[in-house]
Structure 1
Amino acid sequence: MRGIWLAALLIGSPGWAAEPMTAEEFDAYTLGKTLSYAIGGQIYGAEQYLSGRRVIWAFKGQECTRGIWYDEGGQICFVYEHDGAPQCWTFYRQPDGLRARFEGDPAGTELSEVEQSRTILICAGPDVGV
């Protein structure tokens, strides 16, 4: 009985889920939403998830950029129009929202979802009202 309690405690504790989200799970969770992300409690940026795996991203206080996402070996990779280099993340669903770990980063950059809405992303600069 003690082992079951310990397993339940570990599964329900903050931290990383045992299994990364699949592309299908990620799409079902994000589609039609705008999510705000933070690093260490500080707002980092926000992303609007559109149909066809299209996205609009903005770092806090900066202009928006359009992009796409795709599944690459179990990771969710993003390519944006301002930079053609893929940025791949492993996403986990937690009780308080998504958590993401940037792949290939020795510092282990981790994002956490801090807010979600069904409103469009408000963009600074020339793409205002996108």
Structure 2
Amino acid sequence: MHNIIYTKSAPKPIGPYSQGIKRNNIVMTSGQIAINKNNQIISDNIVEQARVILQNIKNIIQKSGLQINDIIKMTIFVTQLNEMNEINVIYNDFFQTHNARLPARTCVEVSNLPKNAKIEIDAIAIQH
């Protein structure tokens, strides 16, 4: 059996899916785009989008009872692979700020994302 994760600290899904699912000791988040939970706006700035997404993932992971250090894998989808240097700075700072290990990661350039977002990230975490 699995539990659906929902937190008001992250934006509501824009389609028929859950923010995340927890089954036994594994949590998988749905792909998060940078929808600001307060005003539903997506910034045009890739750095701000990355910050918002990582904060939303943190809120979903913590709602499940896990922590940032429990994240073992992330997948990043970007519309402009040449923006990865800027994303990497925010990504690295996020994990260092939480004294967390860097998880395994995949990054893929895509032609389009929902709501014209520039980046989407999902996460897998395992409770130790």
Q: Name the TM-score, length of structure 2 as normaliser.
A: 0.24
More strand by share: 1
Larger Rg, first or second structure (1 or 2): 1
Q: Name the TM-score, length of structure 1 as normaliser.
A: 0.24
More helix by share: 2
